[in-house]
């Protein structure tokens, strides 16, 4: 278990807050090669008596409402020289623990976490890369684009709330980004999949990274399997969150939900 302190916070868009962490035990941080590397952070309810860093034993006898809430967050950037770890949080209002923590975060605030996990990296053996995600996946998409060379081609579908909510994404040279706006979408969960269906893909082989809201990810997965012949079982496709579910509620049903998609 590690912890770090907030160094500074940047507002990247009306809906995304970048929190840059430093210090604490970050000198022991073991970076991963995955561009979707994530930490499992523990967010404390506001009135929890716990203080970071805490040990497992400190949880003994602690009331349920005071216990830390585990949430996964992607490492947007790890600057090993400066020892700074950046995470881009969706600022989705007061509900929950993680997004609201990021919106309140001040220099010196502490966050405890373990990890990193992660498994995707743009494959060097394909002709181009397909990356699809909403705000929760823009950190991973940004880190993936940052890892490309100027000759590497990528097609990105990035979902945000409305015009003006776009986030700066790296473009080493041959990246095409199509922004999709929820407020302009029909109330249909397949709207992101429909945008893909309406797009002519570049020629050649491609790898796939699709993450974000469960229903939207599910529809994209079906579209890629049915219309593009993608082997979705070996692609990096999974839902990061589920509308109208807290992370605890979502984790309880996620496995079953995923099995029903296959
Ligand atoms: C591997 C992995 C990596 C992830 N990386 C990131 C990341 O880098 N940045 C990031 O912001 N999220 C990321 N997520 C998603 C994040 O863990 C969840 O969105 C989480 O539920 C947020 O916790 P919370 O405490 O803010 O809200 P919760 O307590 O889980 O939920 C409260 C309410 O907010 C809603 N909600 C949750 N997330 C969103 C959202 N994104 N937009 C709108 N409403 C929402 C829920 O449906 C619920 O109604 C990642 C998830 C995984 C599995």
Per-run averaged pLDDT (10 residues), the chain, 262 residues: 97 98 97 97 96 95 96 98 98 96 98 96 97 98 97 98 97 96 91 97 97 97 96 95 97 92 78
Q: Is the CB of 94 under 6 A from ligand 1?
A: no
The whole-number pLDDT of residue 186 equals 80
Quote the ligand 1 centre to 152 CA distance (angstroms).
30
CATH code: domain of residue 74: 2.40.30.10
Q: Across the chain, which distance is largest between two alpha carbons, in Å? A: 59
CA-nearest of 18, 143, 173, 154 to 89 is 18
133 and 256 fall within a common domain: yes
For ligand 1, atom 5, name the residue with the nearest CA: 73
63 and 162 fall within a common domain: no
What sign does the dihedral 105-110-112-116 (CA atoms) show? positive
For ligand 1, atom 21, name the residue with the nearest CA: 247
Task: Give dist(CA 182, CA 84) in Å, integer.
Answer: 32
The whole-number pLDDT of residue 129 equals 98
Whether the link from the prior residue into 53 is cis, omega within 30° of 0, is: yes
Query: Is residue 122 included in any domain, yes or no?
Result: no
189 φ, ψ (degrees, to nearest 5) = -65, -15
Decide: 141 and 133 in contact? Cβ < 8 Å: yes
Quote the ligand 1 centre to 212 CA distance (angstroms).
9
148 and 90 fall within a common domain: no
Structural domain of residue 187, as residue ranges?
A: 128-261
CATH code: domain of residue 171: 3.40.50.80
- The count of domains in the chain is 2
The whole-number pLDDT of residue 261 equals 82
Task: Give dist(CA 113, CA 203) in Å, integer.
Answer: 42
Q: What is the pTM of this model?
A: 0.97
Q: Is the CB of 63 under 6 A from ligand 1?
A: no
Task: Give dist(CA 96, CA 246) in Å, integer.
Answer: 7
The whole-number pLDDT of residue 260 equals 87
DSSP code per residue over 82-112: TTEEEEEEE---SSSSHHHHHHH--TT-EEE
Task: Give dist(CA 212, CA 137) in Å, integer.
Answer: 6
């Amino acid at each position: 278990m590690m912890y770090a302190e907030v160094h500074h916070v940047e507002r990247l868009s009306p809906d995304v807050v970048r929190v840059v962490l430093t210090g604490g035990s970050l000198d022991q941080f073991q970076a991963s090669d995955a561009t979707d590397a994530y930490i499992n952070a523990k967010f404390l309810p506001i009135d929890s008596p716990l203080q970071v860093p805490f040990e497992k034993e400190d949880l003994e006898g602690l009331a349920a409402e005071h216990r830390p809430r585990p949430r996964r967050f992607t490492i947007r950037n790890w600057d090993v020289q400066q020892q700074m770890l950046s995470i881009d949080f969706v600022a989705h209002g007061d509900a929950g623990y993680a997004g609201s923590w990021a919106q309140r975060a001040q220099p010196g605030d502490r966050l405890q976490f373990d990890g990193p996990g992660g498994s995707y990296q743009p494959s060097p053996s394909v002709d181009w890369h397909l990356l699809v995600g909403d705000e929760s996946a823009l950190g991973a998409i940004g880190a993936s684009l940052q890892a490309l060379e100027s000759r590497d081609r990528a097609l990105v579908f990035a979902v945000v709330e409305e015009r003006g909510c776009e986030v700066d994404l790296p473009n080493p040279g041959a990246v095409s980004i199509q922004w999709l706006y929820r407020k302009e979408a029909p109330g249909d969960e397949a709207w992101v999949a429909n945008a893909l269906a309406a797009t002519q893909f570049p020629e050649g082989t491609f790898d796939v990274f699709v993450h974000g809201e469960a229903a939207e990810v599910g529809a994209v997965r079906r579209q890629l399997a049915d219309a593009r012949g993608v082997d979705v079982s070996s692609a990096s496709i999974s839902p990061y969150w589920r509308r109208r579910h807290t992370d605890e509620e979502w984790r309880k049903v996620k496995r079953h939900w995923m099995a029903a998609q296959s």
